[in-house]
Amino acid sequence: MALVLGTNSYVTLEQADAYFDTRLDAGAWVNADSDDQESALVTATQILDNYHYIGVAVSSAQSLAWPRKNAAYYEPKLGTQLGVDDSTYPNRLKFATYELALHLLTNENLLDNKTQTFERIRVGSIEIEDSNNDVTRTPVMPNRVKTFISPLLIDGGTRSWWRAN
């Protein structure tokens, strides 16, 4: 399925290209073909769509979690509460989509739960060996993306429990 704004993606390919035109370290995006870029944006949207966001869906028939009505959040950058128009996507959600798509393109096999292990690699006198498989896992959701979406989440992105006595 091709990328369709509002159906399977929060952003268009053109919007993502404009974002990455000015972003440092966007090589994985720039070097990917348009099919892979679209797939990354759709997959990023699918992952982001699984969070519990503020407000409620505008329609029970919509395919994505956004747009939402009755959605207001605290914008740390401005130090104030902002309302979200029920016909648009917040910039924070768009930025999270771009960054997660880049993360997916940068980290091959991230969603396959596969890690690259080295038993022995030798180039001249340089040798790498990993016999105990202590490979660090790359998280599916990087901190940069969490920073963008946390104000849009019902609980602010925390999962802390409390009990009233």
Q: Which helix (H) or strand (E) holds 122?
A: strand 121-123
pLDDT band at 112 (very low <50, low <70, confident <90, very high): confident
Per-residue pLDDT tens digits for 15-46: 999 999 999 999 999 999 999 999 999 999 99
What is the value of pTM for the model shown? 0.81
pLDDT at 133 over 70: no
* Phi-psi map region of 141: left, alpha, beta (phi>0 left; psi -120 to 50 alpha): beta
Interstrand relation of 121-123 and 126-128 (parallel, antiparallel or unpaired): antiparallel
- Percentage of the chain lying above the pLDDT 90 cut: 72
Sign of CA dihedral 102, 90, 19, 143: negative
